[in-house]
Amino acid sequence: MTRVSVKEKRGLSLANGQVEPWISGTFHYWRSDPQLWPDILSNIKAMGFEMVETYIPWGIHEIERGKFEFGEKEPRKNLEKFIQLVGQAGLKLIVRPGPHINAELTYFGYPPRIVYDPEIVAQEGSGAVSVHDAAPKAFGNLGYASRKLYEETALWFDALAPILKRNLHPDGPIVALQVDNETGYYFRTGAYLLDYNPESLRWYRTYLEKRHGTLKALNDCYGTSYKSFSEIAPPHFFAGESLKDLPYHLDWSRYKEWQINECLRIIGNMWKERGVDGIPFFQNLYGPMDSPYNTNDLEQDAYGIDVVGLDDYQRKEIFRGTSRKASYLSGTSKLPFIPEFGSGCWSLPLWENTMVLEDQHFTTPLLFMFGLKAVNYYMLVERDRWMGSPLTAHNKIRHSYFDFYRHWNSFLKKYKFHEWDLQSDLLVLANYDAERILKALKVVEGHPIHFLPDELGFAEAHSFFKYRLDEELPRWNTNQWAYALKNHLPVHCSDTVAPYEKLKGHKAIWAVSFEVMAKAAQQNLRRYAEEGGTLFFGPLAPSLDEDMRPFTCFAELENSNEAKIGKGKVILLPEWGEAAVEKALSGAGIHPVMEGLPSEILCTRFTHEGKELYFFANPGGQALSFKPRRKLTPLYGIGEGKVAHEQLNLQPWSVTVWEAHP
């Protein structure tokens, strides 16, 4: 029975056919006085939210193995009462029941017995258990191939499923479920950090057989003479001496990507087996857009995940990364979604400057400006280990924060923003194969939170390509996005794993490319060009497949930098140069969304039923002024709906929205 489904690029389609935008905020019921729950929910509703989200922590509800407390003795744990109050408040509910939740809990939501069980914890290459070095107490990184992990999780799901099942929409307020949380080795994503647990090695060999099909095919790929898959041991570090040694190492990275996806498939099926189904299943990745995270792949039907989102906690000064992440989700995901967007931040010294309201004022509309359609603000209600939310733990209103969300949500609802489409004539593709290779060649893998040493480079002998990937790849990617921003191009982002369906509809595709690109990616891009698109490569046209074998779908570029392919064409840009880029893009019909804007301003354009909206952002500390070439009426950010402006004055760190007139 389909109770709720995802309406692509729009929101959640409910049983009555209504499409509701997915705009929610987090409230952890168990961290608050139950007597305050009704009033807190009322204040969330008053901010303009129609949905609230909560984790449901296994480790909080479990008394002892297999025994659970759901409010019989402790009112804070009365989950079903909370769910009913959500419904009575006229809100929908997003649930995140784990098994992993993090939530800044000491054991990330697990019972302590789970994170110290050697049968469950992942292993490092040395055979030692893999430890997560988190404050206030270190514990084991869990192994996704552990049978015992799923057996123990089944106890939790058996207890929780009846409560969730009877409260699914339309009988109750639950409209979506997160399958796990930030599944990805607890931020330890280096190629060789883990998991060498015996059960993981069995999964590894299963994956190799799935990928290669036969032992002969694997031996041909590796240049080896294995007599059975059971003989194959994974690499513990990069020890290759030539290009032909790369496939063996890259298969370990591919396995870890598959392992994450397979873990989520298993957990999702566990819910369906217990009757918790008919609603969208989603997953959040903690932020990176490269191996072992494969957003394009994870949303495929094989894994049962409807929506994959990326978390984001950024100050306003990091606007290039925030805008690119939103653009990536817009060009990649079925529903561009940030499952955790910082509303306040956790109380750890991670930034030189803590996020404050001014950051949220700028970065929130910036996300939507670049294509975001769904967001969960984490958190709306403050609690231990968190600060800077619009409501305190005691339900006191921080009026400046409260008013901001009420104002922004009012804009989204009034103009039905979820129905508008971002103009995206150009699709910018990151090279997923090159990013995977970089990770396989790293000497030391750092940690994004705990600041371990990190060496991004590798020995010169390990650079098997014409270009140093660790130097050239970042330069091309950075220049590409900076060029798109300052020239106000109508753009989406994705990566080379994108299926053909995601490529269609764009006038041009611009892929950062070196020697290596997977066969499937090359074939999809070739088909795109043959059917009339314009394709740009740079600095090199692909000449090798994912297994380092000679392969190209673009032999036409061997003797020329431009060639006609079917109804379209392909162009090689061997050197970075803005004049050459401008000429190529203009020839493909890629023009600014509005001419004559200062390069410092960011601008995007949305359309709906013949109408146009323009977003203008000033990402800096000085006021900017310009005269637009369209007649515009302000809708958000300055003098909403009052007058049409000829001269626009943009305040520092501001985002405004305007409707264009014929």
Q: What's the pLDDT tens digit per position in 423-440?
A: 999 999 999 999 899 888
Average pLDDT over every residue of 632-652: 81
Could you give the 3-state DSSP secondary structure of residue 594? coil
pLDDT > 90? residue 148: yes
CB-based contact 568:535 (threshold 8 Å): yes
User: Which position has the token pair 């989603």?
Assistant: 282
Cβ within 8 Å of residue 269, ≥6 positions away: 304
Compute CA distances 324 → 328, 329, 474, whole Å. 6, 9, 14
CB-based contact 79:434 (threshold 8 Å): no
pLDDT > 90? residue 517: yes
Examine the domain organization and report whether 533 and 639 are in the same domain: no
∠ CA 200-206-212, nearest 5°, is 135
CA distance 622 to 642: 25
Q: What is the average pLDDT score of the chain?
A: 93
What is the structure's pLDDT at 142? Answer: 96
CB-based contact 214:227 (threshold 8 Å): no
Q: What is this structure's pTM?
A: 0.95
- The DSSP element (H or E) to which 411 belongs, if any, is helix 399-414
Question: How many structural domains comprise the chain?
Answer: 3
Domain annotation covers residue 620? yes
User: Of 354, 389, 416, which residue constitutes the final position of a domain?
Assistant: 416
Exposed/middle/buried for residue 527 (C-beta within 10 Å: 0-12, 13-18, 19+) = middle
What is the structure's pLDDT at 213? Answer: 97
- Between residues 443 and 482, the one the model is more confident about: 482
DSSP annotation of 324 reads H
CA distance 498 to 505: 13
The token duo for 383 is 């609690």
What is the structure's pLDDT at 513? Answer: 94
Could you give the 3-state DSSP secondary structure of residue 506? coil
Domain that holds residue 657: 602-661
Half-sphere exposure of 283 (CA within 13 A, CB side): 30
What is the structure's pLDDT at 78? Answer: 98
CA distance 626 to 23: 33
Examine the domain organization and report whether 409 and 443 are in the same domain: no
Domain annotation covers residue 199? no
CA distance 209 to 338: 35
pLDDT in tens, 374-384: 999 999 999 99
Domain annotation covers residue 143? no
Exposed/middle/buried for residue 301 (C-beta within 10 Å: 0-12, 13-18, 19+) = exposed
What is the structure's pLDDT at 447? Answer: 55
Cβ within 8 Å of residue 167, ≥6 positions away: 80, 83, 84, 87, 93, 173, 174
What is the structure's pLDDT at 351? Answer: 52
Percent with pLDDT over 70 in the chain:
95
Could you give the 3-state DSSP secondary structure of residue 494? strand
CB-based contact 73:162 (threshold 8 Å): no
Exposed/middle/buried for residue 447 (C-beta within 10 Å: 0-12, 13-18, 19+) = middle
Domain annotation covers residue 194? no
Amino acid residing at 308: V
CA distance 27 to 32: 9
Domain annotation covers residue 244? no
With cut-offs at 50, 70 and 90, classify the pLDDT of residue 456. Answer: very low
CA distance 472 to 540: 11
pLDDT in tens, 584-626: 999 999 999 999 999 999 999 999 999 999 999 999 999 999 9
Examine the domain organization and report whether 623 and 548 are in the same domain: no
Average pLDDT over every residue of 343-364: 78
The token duo for 153 is 């999780």
User: Of 396, 416, 436, which residue constitutes the final position of a domain?
Assistant: 416
Percent with pLDDT over 90 in the chain:
81
pLDDT in tens, 272-325: 999 999 999 999 998 788 899 999 999 988 899 999 999 998 889 999 999 999
What is the structure's pLDDT at 239? Answer: 86
What is the structure's pLDDT at 52? Answer: 98
Examine the domain organization and report whether 507 and 571 are in the same domain: yes
Question: Which domain CATH number covers 50?
Answer: 3.20.20.80
With cut-offs at 50, 70 and 90, classify the pLDDT of residue 93. Answer: very high
Examine the domain organization and report whether 445 and 337 are in the same domain: no
Torsion of CA 323, 326, 329, 330, to 10 degrees: -100
Torsion of CA 133, 135, 137, 143, to 10 degrees: -40
User: Among 290, 291, 281, 336, which residue's Cα sits nearest to residue 309?
Assistant: 336
Domain annotation covers residue 225? no
pLDDT in tens, 220-252: 999 999 999 999 999 998 888 889 999 999 999
pLDDT in tens, 157-208: 999 999 999 999 999 999 999 999 999 998 888 899 999 999 999 999 999 9
CA distance 387 to 381: 9
Examine the domain organization and report whether 372 and 491 are in the same domain: no
Examine the domain organization and report whether 54 and 165 are in the same domain: yes
pLDDT in tens, 16-58: 889 999 999 999 999 999 999 999 999 999 999 999 999 999 9
Examine the domain organization and report whether 326 and 279 are in the same domain: yes
Examine the domain organization and report whether 529 and 634 are in the same domain: no
Examine the domain organization and report whether 279 and 382 are in the same domain: yes
End-to-end Cα, the chain, rounded Å:
46
User: Of 556, 587, 618, which residue constitutes the final position of a domain?
Assistant: 587
CA distance 637 to 368: 14
Domain annotation covers residue 84? yes
CA 566 from centroid of its chain's CA atoms: 35
CA distance 122 to 108: 16
Could you give the 3-state DSSP secondary structure of residue 626? strand
Question: Which domain CATH number covers 517?
Answer: 3.40.50
Examine the domain organization and report whether 565 and 628 are in the same domain: no
Report residue 204: phi and psi, to 5°.
-55, -45
Domain annotation covers residue 220? no
What is the structure's pLDDT at 454? Answer: 42
Most distant pair of Cα atoms in the chain: their distance: 77
Beta strand pairing call for 23-26 and 374-378:
parallel
Examine the domain organization and report whether 583 and 469 are in the same domain: yes
pLDDT > 60? residue 331: yes
E strands present in 540-601: 562-565, 568-572
pLDDT > 90? residue 487: yes
User: Which position has the token pair 């057996």?
Assistant: 151
124-133, 447-456, 460-469, 545-554, range with greatest mean pLDDT: 545-554
What is the structure's pLDDT at 133? Answer: 80
Question: Which domain CATH number covers 613?
Answer: 2.60.40.1180
**Picking from 110-114, 355-359, 364-368, 485-489, which range would have the lowest pLDDT averaged per residue?**
355-359
